[in-house]
């Protein structure tokens, strides 16, 4: 069966994008090419912006903010633009999914699903723009009335990673816009296309010029300069813990800009003997293989009750072997390519470490040769001990490490044995066990008898070293505001000076 339609063919020549500042497309004078990781063929040409291009983008965002043409609109008017953007995204869903699959290597069907989620984010934020409000205090006595105003924080810098280029963008941009802020986005250098396509969508939806700006280029130059910029009021960063740390230093050394950080994860999936083992195995296979495990919320540590551990691992390994790993443009593919050569080498390095440190390979265990592109088989290690590298480090690939427990306390201790706290999942039919684990494990996003579920209504973010702040939901809009407490005296003042 041919599952590649003509619309899924590779582009004949790489598509060249400009960068977007103050409502217009610009050229930097130098471009670089990005090859599709699933095919090894150049698909896009991206501008290599200079620090001067970044300054121009920040200046445009500042003018657009201070001019009041966006922040000064009513929530209903801002929401109207976001709703129009949602409609245009719906019309351009397949096009956006296509470029996302090409640059990132994810399956095209998955990419379409992600664009659907992005549309929901815009619709949710449109409502939130109208609901955003402060507070009042009618309880300060007869003579004093208190109001708490919410104001947009100003110019936001947004640095996004390559694993979910469009989804992570859209879990932030509509919420930033709903708050009344303006922004400068620096997408990952390897997956910039869809962030640039969003500029077109927003302009067509009626977003005023200068509100959404995109600069492209390397993290170490343009990204770093954005973190250090003294005219950026807030920085939202999603990526590695190492760069997250450098953002904190840069904020402290520049203008104390507010930070939102979504960093790494080493997320536990706790499986009790009483759970539906077929369901749990399906969830565990999905949780580690979805997006080739290049997912901050991947469930990469399986913590399974000893009495069913052998049975469960066998069930899981059989399911993992049936996952359809293949060409991102094939409609039937479930798991696509590894996004970068560096990440491919990192994952294979961890698999090697797992072997040499004494873990037992139960499924996968290496690269898959599909003729072109870089692919890795979903991999399961059993008998992992807490000191091993595959137990502690974020691998960011389809590699699952399995541990065993006898008591609820042991399961909780193993789940919490990490510096991270992004997400966790628990599988059991026993409400006591489900809620005990949920209450005692320190993680920002929790799933009970499911995994990776969610919607834009729910806030997302990490405990411990997984980050600061929350994206999504009403909290996700409030994150980009600051509050001003206003005290109003009523009636004649009681004089201090007699
Ligand atoms: O991330 P980087 P990398 C983790 C994952 C992965 C590892 C390395 O474990 O293996 O990070 O990935 C920009 N100042 N995650 O090296 O470098 C960069 O251009 C400012 C987890 O690709 O953090 C890109 O836009 N910006 C994660 C973004 O930072 C800089 C998602 C992320 O790249 C910069 C991705 C600098 N000095 C990786 N250097 C998650 N939590 O989802 C780079 N960038």
- Taking CA atoms only, the protein residue closest to ligand 1 atom 31 is 239
pLDDT at site 157: 99
> Would you say residue 2 has pLDDT above 80?
no
Mean pLDDT of 98-124: 98
pLDDT at site 317: 98
> Would you say residue 5 has pLDDT above 70?
no
Residues 6 or more apart in contact with residue 469 via CB below 8 angstroms: 236, 259, 260, 261, 461, 479
Q: Ligand 1 center to residue 219 CA distance, Å?
A: 8
- Taking CA atoms only, the protein residue closest to ligand 1 atom 12 is 240
Q: Ligand 1 center to residue 237 CA distance, Å?
A: 9
Catalytic residue among 228, 262, 305, 478: 262
CA atoms of 392 and 386, how far apart (whole Å): 7
Active site residue 262: yes
> Would you say residue 1 has pLDDT above 50?
no
pLDDT at site 460: 95
Q: Ligand 1 center to residue 276 CA distance, Å?
A: 37
Q: Which residue has the tokens 């929901």?
A: 120
pLDDT at site 174: 98
Active site residue 295: no
Catalytic residue among 121, 170, 295, 296: 296
Ligand 1 pocket test, candidate residues 228, 239, 463, most atoms within 8 A of CB: 239
Indicate which atom in ligand 1 lies nearest the CA of residue 243. 23
CA atoms of 154 and 386, how far apart (whole Å): 44
Q: Ligand 1 center to residue 98 CA distance, Å?
A: 23
Residue 163 burial (CB < 10 Å; 0-12/13-18/19+)?
buried
| pLDDT tens readout for residues 240-285 | 999 999 999 999 999 999 999 999 999 999 999 999 999 999 999 9
- Beta 15-16 vs 182-186: how paired, if at all? unpaired
Portion of the chain with pLDDT greater than 70, in percent:
99
Cα of 258 vs its chain's centroid, Å:
19
Mean pLDDT of 155-179: 98
> Would you say residue 6 has pLDDT above 90?
no
Ligand 1 pocket test, candidate residues 32, 189, 243, most atoms within 8 A of CB: 243
* Residue 8's pLDDT band (cuts 50, 70, 90): confident
pLDDT at site 4: 65
Can you read off the two tokens belonging to residue 452? 């990776």
Can you read off the two tokens belonging to residue 433? 């066990």
* Residue 3's pLDDT band (cuts 50, 70, 90): low
- Taking CA atoms only, the protein residue closest to ligand 1 atom 41 is 263
Indicate which atom in ligand 1 lies nearest the CA of residue 295. 42
| pLDDT tens readout for residues 60-87 | 999 999 999 999 999 999 999 999 999 9
- Taking CA atoms only, the protein residue closest to ligand 1 atom 25 is 188
- Taking CA atoms only, the protein residue closest to ligand 1 atom 11 is 240
> Would you say residue 377 has pLDDT above 90?
yes
Total residues belonging to the chain:
498
Are the CB atoms for 222 and 213 separated by under 8 Å? no
This prediction has a pTM of: 0.97
| pLDDT tens readout for residues 9-68 | 999 999 999 999 999 999 999 999 999 999 999 999 999 999 999 999 999 999 999 999
> Would you say residue 213 has pLDDT above 50?
yes
Mean pLDDT of 470-487: 97
| pLDDT tens readout for residues 317-363 | 999 999 999 999 999 999 999 999 999 999 999 999 999 999 999 99
- Taking CA atoms only, the protein residue closest to ligand 1 atom 26 is 223
Mean pLDDT of 460-479: 97
Q: Mean pLDDT in the chain?
A: 97
Q: Ligand 1 center to residue 144 CA distance, Å?
A: 49
> Would you say residue 380 has pLDDT above 80?
yes
- Beta 299-305 vs 182-186: how paired, if at all? unpaired
SS (H, E, C) the chain: CCCCCHHHCCCCCCEECCEEECCEEECCCCEEEEEECCCCEEEEEEECCCHHHHHHHHHHHHHHHHCCCCCCCCHHHHHHHHHHHHHHHHHCHHHHHHHHHHHHCCCHHHHHHHHHHHHHHHHHHHHHHHHCCCEEECCCCCCEEEEEEEEECCEEEEECCCCCHHHHHHCCHHHHHHHCCEEEEECCCCCCHHHHHHHHHHHHHCCCCCCEEECCCCHHHHHHHHHHCCCCCEEEEECCHHHHHHHHHHHHHCCCCEEEEECCCCEEEEECCCCCHHHHHHHHHHHHHHHHHCCCCCEEEEEEEHHHHHHHHHHHHHHHHCCCECCCCCCCCCECCCCCHHHHHHHHHHHHHHHHCCCEEEECCCEECCCCCCEECCEEEECCCCCCHHHHCCCCCCEEEEEEECCHHHHHHHHHCCCEECEEEEECCCHHHHHHHHHHCCCCEEEECCCCCCCCCCCECCEECCEECCECHHHHHHCCEEEEEEEEECCCCCCCCC
| pLDDT tens readout for residues 127-161 | 999 999 999 999 999 999 999 999 999 999 999 99
Give residues (CB < 6 A) around ligand 1. 159-163, 186, 188-189, 219-220, 223-224, 227, 238-240, 243, 246, 262-264, 296, 343, 346, 394, 396
Mean pLDDT of 201-208: 98
């Amino acid at each position: 069966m041919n599952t590649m339609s003509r619309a899924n063919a590779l582009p004949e020549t790489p598509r060249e994008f400009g960068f977007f500042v103050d409502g217009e497309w610009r050229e930097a004078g130098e471009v670089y090419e990005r090859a599709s990781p699933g095919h090894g063929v150049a698909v896009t040409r991206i501008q290599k912006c200079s620090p001067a291009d970044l300054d121009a983008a920040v200046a445009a965002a500042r003018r657009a903010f201070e001019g009041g043409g966006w922040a000064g609109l009513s929530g209903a008017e801002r929401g109207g633009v976001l709703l129009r953007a949602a409609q245009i995204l719906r019309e351009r869903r397949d096009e956006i999914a296509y470029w996302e699959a090409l640059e990132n290597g994810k399956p095209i069907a998955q990419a379409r699903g992600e664009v659907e989620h992005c549309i929901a984010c815009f619709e949710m934020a449109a409502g939130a723009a109208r609901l955003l409000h402060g507070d009042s205090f009618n309880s300060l006595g007869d003579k004093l009335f208190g109001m708490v105003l919410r104001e947009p924080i100003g110019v936001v810098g947004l640095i996004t990673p390559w694993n979910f280029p469009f989804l992570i963008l859209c879990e932030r941009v509509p919420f930033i816009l709903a708050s009344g802020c303006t922004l400068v986005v620096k997408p990952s250098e390897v997956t910039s296309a869809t962030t640039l396509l969003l500029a077109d969508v927003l302009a067509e939806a009626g977003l005023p010029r200068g509100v959404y700006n995109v600069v492209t280029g390397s993290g170490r130059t343009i990204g770093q300069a954005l973190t250090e910029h003294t005219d950026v009021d807030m920085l939202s960063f999603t990526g590695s813990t190492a760069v997250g740390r450098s953002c904190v230093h840069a904020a402290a050394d520049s203008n104390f800009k507010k930070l939102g950080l979504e960093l790494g994860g080493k997320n536990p999936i706790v499986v009790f003997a009483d759970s539906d083992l077929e369901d749990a195995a399906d969830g565990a296979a999905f949780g580690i293989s979805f997006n080739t495990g290049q997912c901050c919320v991947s469930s990469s540590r399986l913590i399974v009750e000893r009495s069913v551990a052998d049975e469960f691992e066998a069930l899981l390994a059989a399911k993992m072997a049936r996952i359809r790993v293949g060409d991102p443009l094939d409609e039937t593919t479930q798991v696509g390519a590894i996004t970068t050569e560096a990440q491919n080498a990192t994952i294979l390095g961890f698999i090697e470490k797992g072997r040499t440190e004494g873990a037992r390979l139960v499924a996968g265990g290496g690269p898959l040769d599909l003729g072109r592109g870089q692919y890795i088989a979903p991999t399961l290690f059993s008998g992992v001990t807490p000191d091993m590298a595959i137990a502690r480090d974020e691998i960011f690939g389809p590699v699952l490490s399995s541990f065993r427990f006898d008591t609820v306390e042991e399961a909780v201790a193993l789940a919490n044995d990490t510096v991270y706290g992004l997400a966790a999942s628990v599988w059991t039919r026993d409400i006591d066990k489900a809620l005990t684990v949920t209450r005692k494990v320190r993680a920002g996003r929790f799933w009970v008898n499911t995994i990776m579920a969610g919607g834009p209504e729910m806030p997302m973010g990490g405990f411990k070293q997984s980050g600061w702040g929350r994206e999504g939901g009403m909290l996700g809009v409030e994150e980009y505001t600051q509050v001003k407490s206003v005290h109003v005296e009523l009636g004649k003042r009681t004089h201090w000076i007699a």
